[in-house]
């Protein structure tokens, strides 16, 4: 399951970001993307089916993979390996299933909790991204002018 959000209307922030040194850019964008991803992840947790063990709800996680400075910077919303490995089956559903002996196990209807949560919270995530990006940009600019972390 992969969904991409395009960010528009942040030209002023982008021009300010380009004034920073290349090594400082991930320190601004990474945490801001993580804030936006957590907004969507909270909605995914809320919409995930309970189930007996609540494993799918507890498996929702966010991360920003470590990349080199010039690579693409992104945040991921996904599921922890042990608990959420069946998320795609819940999201997309299954066809009629049968065992080797012919016993019918039925079909599982799709419960599009992930994609509906992304579309419901996309604008809120972008707002959180703009706010976090602006504040991180101000902090990083102040840090570089002063000459060290404070």
pTM of the complete model = 0.80
Please check whether residue 149 is in contact with residue 40, taking contact to mean a CB–CB distance below 8 angstroms: no
Tokens found for residue 148: 């060290």
Dihedral angle of Cα 78, 80, 84, 85, to the nearest 10 degrees: 100
- Give the residue extent of every domain in the chain: 11-80+113-146
pLDDT in tens, 26-62: 888 888 889 999 999 999 999 999 989 999 999 999 9
Tokens found for residue 109: 């209807």
- Cβ atoms within 10 Å, residue 82: 8
Please check whether residue 43 is in contact with residue 60, taking contact to mean a CB–CB distance below 8 angstroms: no
């Amino acid at each position: 399951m992969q969904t991409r959000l395009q960010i528009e209307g942040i030209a002023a922030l982008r021009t300010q970001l380009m004034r920073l040194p290349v090594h400082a850019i991930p320190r601004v964008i990474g945490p801001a993307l993580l804030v936006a991803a957590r907004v969507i992840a909270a909605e995914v947790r809320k919409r995930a089916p309970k189930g007996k063990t609540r494993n799918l709800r507890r498996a929702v996680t966010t991360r920003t993979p470590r990349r080199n400075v010039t690579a693409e910077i992104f945040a991921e919303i996904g599921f922890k390996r042990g608990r959420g490995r069946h998320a795609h089956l819940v999201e997309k559903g299954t066809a009629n299933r049968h065992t080797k002996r012919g016993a019918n196990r039925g079909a599982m209807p799709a419960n599009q909790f992930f994609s509906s949560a992304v579309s419901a919270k996309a604008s809120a995530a972008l707002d959180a991204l703009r706010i976090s990006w602006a504040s991180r940009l101000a902090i990083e600019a102040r840090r570089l002018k002063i000459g060290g972390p404070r």
